[in-house]
């Protein structure tokens, strides 16, 4: 249940004639109706009802989203008077109940309360859960940091089932509620492991995305081990298929492997060489499922920005997953994708923010990878120069690499691969570090990032704050 309290500023509250308080105004949302109690038409009286508990609830509203002091007091009036006099009513289909202050506290603690002084909902983060950001024009909300499940599909090396499960549980404990997987990752192993780890979690509390475009079919000529980067048996192989039937079969298979009842987000996976079929068949199939309410949001994920731009402009895509093209070392998405996303009100999930590893350490070294290849000396030198500027600003290269995509307003999430509990801990800690906005000014000034990178002046906390 969502609790939304729309309140009046005290100036408007005090202007009400006492005789009319029991009848008007009525402040409503889709799930809550609150009518002022005649006993509590005075701010002072209302605040006396239970000010400490009311204030504790209001303190959960994110800093900077509380409005002015008068608005805060006005909200306190509503909570206090509603609790003391039984006038805060929550309406759900087929049920009308009276909310006590204890019930309000429980809803807030569960992260399902919103407050607004002007009618615009303000989300109160769940206790211990990262801030969520909505995929534009959809009901789906992603936590600012996402869990990338490719690595628990044995990407590059074996990960034990115990480590994979521990990673998912650690991510949950750290407040992550967005998990991304794909059939491609470990020939289904990632999907199976992720589904198993989430099986006991409340389904409405997290978001899972998977992908279509590669069907898993029996491998008639197995060699023993997969040849596409995953340390798994190759009893199955990948078959490109962006047809409508292929999309439906892929989603059905993913649901079977994960054991989930639904997918919240579905991406077309690497349709670089399949534009026509992906645009004409796969995306319309996903749009039909979205419009039926089967899927919450749809998009495409690729390592390039040009074709993703076409998906945003020419198809029903809500968002894109952009790998490696808006990072501290590559801002090419500013040429096409990011301006388009901003123009059309579409969303971007950023992945590959370390460019395969070169940005993942505080001091880049020779031999580290950049876009899956050994990084050329000139890129290593540039990464080191950026690291020096980060150090001068009291932060680190990996922390800045995670924070950087959020400099663009279309970015709603950064998703990182997390193989075990230790990687989760490290990534969450890096994501939570404050990164000075002045860093971006300095990097622009030294020509280390493009001059049209947004952001600067002031201090940026963890992404999304």
With contact defined as beta carbons under 8 Å apart, do 73 and 126 qualify? Answer: no
Q: Is the dihedral of CA 336, 341, 343, 344 positive or negative?
A: positive
Phi/psi of residue 370, nearest 5 degrees: -135, 120
- Of 299, 300, 302, 339, which is closest to residue 324 (Cα–Cα)? 302
Q: Which of 185, 206, 326, 370 is catalytic?
A: 185
**What single string gives the DSSP state of each residue in 241-309?**
--SHHHHHHHHHHHHHHH--S--SEEEEE--TT-HHHIIIIIHHHHHHHHHTTS-SEEEEEES-SHHHH
Phi/psi of residue 392, nearest 5 degrees: -65, -25
Give the Cα separation of 58 and 89 in Å (integer).
18
455: exposed, middle or buried (Cβ count in 10 Å: 0-12, 13-18, 19+): buried
Give the Cα separation of 436 and 457 in Å (integer).
8
- Of 343, 285, 289, 296, which is closest to residue 318 (Cα–Cα)? 296
Task: Give residues with Cβ within 8 angstroms of 382, minimum separation 6.
Answer: 329, 448
With contact defined as beta carbons under 8 Å apart, do 34 and 94 qualify? Answer: no
326 catalytic per annotation = no
| Strand partners for 132 | 143
Task: Give residues with Cβ within 8 angstroms of 82, minimum separation 6.
Answer: 34, 37, 88, 99, 101, 104
- Of 305, 307, 283, 309, which is closest to residue 295 (Cα–Cα)? 283
Torsion angle of alpha carbons 256, 259, 262, 263, nearest 10°?
-80
* Cα→Cα distances 133→128, 342, 409, 411, 413, Å: 16, 15, 11, 9, 8
Residues involved in catalysis: 185
């Amino acid at each position: 249940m969502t609790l939304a309290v729309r309140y009046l500023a005290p100036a408007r509250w005090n202007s009400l004639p006492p005789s009319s308080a029991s009848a008007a105004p009525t402040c409503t949302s889709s799930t809550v109706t609150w009518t002022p109690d005649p006993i509590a038409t005075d701010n002072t009286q209302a605040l006396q009802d239970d000010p400490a508990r009311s204030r504790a609830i209001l303190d959960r509203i994110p800093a900077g989203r509380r409005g002015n002091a008068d608005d805060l007091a006005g909200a306190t009036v509503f909570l206090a008077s509603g609790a003391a006099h039984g006038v805060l009513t929550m309406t759900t289909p087929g049920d009308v109940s009276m909310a006590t202050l204890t019930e309000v506290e429980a809803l807030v603690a569960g992260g399902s309360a919103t407050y607004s002084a002007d009618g615009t909902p303000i989300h109160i983060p769940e206790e211990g859960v990262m801030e969520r950001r909505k995929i534009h024009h959809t009901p789906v909300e992603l936590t600012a940091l996402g869990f990338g499940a490719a690595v628990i599909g044995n990407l590059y090396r074996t990960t034990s089932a115990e480590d994979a499960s521990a990673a998912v549980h650690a991510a949950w404990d750290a407040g992550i509620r967005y998990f991304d997987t794909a059939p491609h990752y470990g020939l289904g192993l990632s999907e199976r492991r992720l589904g198993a780890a989430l099986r006991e979690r409340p389904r409405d509390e997290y978001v899972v995305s998977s992908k279509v475009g590669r069907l898993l079919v029996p491998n008639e000529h197995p060699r023993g081990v997969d040849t596409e980067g995953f340390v798994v048996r190759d009893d199955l192989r990948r078959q490109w298929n962006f047809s409508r039937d292929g999309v439906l079969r892929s989603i059905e298979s993913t649901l079977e492997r994960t054991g989930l009842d639904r997918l919240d987000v579905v991406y077309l996976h690497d349709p670089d060489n399949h534009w026509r079929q992906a645009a004409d068949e796969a995306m319309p199939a996903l749009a039909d499922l979205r419009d039926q309410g089967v899927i919450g949001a749809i998009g495409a994920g690729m390592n390039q920005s040009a074709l993703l731009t076409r998906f945003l402009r020419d198809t029903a895509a809500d968002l894109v997953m952009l790998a490696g093209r808006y990072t501290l070392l590559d801002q090419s998405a500013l040429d096409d994708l990011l301006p388009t996303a901003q123009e059309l009100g579409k969303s971007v999930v950023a992945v590959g923010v370390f460019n395969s590893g070169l940005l993942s350490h505080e001091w880049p070294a020779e031999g580290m990878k950049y876009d899956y290849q050994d990084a050329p000396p000139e890129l290593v030198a540039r990464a080191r120069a950026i690291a020096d500027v980060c150090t001068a600003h009291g932060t680190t290269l990996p922390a800045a690499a995670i924070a950087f995509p959020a400099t663009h307003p279309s970015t709603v999430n950064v998703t990182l691969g997390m193989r075990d509990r230790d990687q989760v801990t490290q990534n969450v800690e890096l994501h939570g570090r404050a990164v000075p906005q002045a860093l971006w000014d300095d990097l622009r000034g030294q020509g280390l990032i493009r001059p049209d990178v947004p952001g600067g002046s002031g201090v940026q906390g963890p992404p999304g704050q």
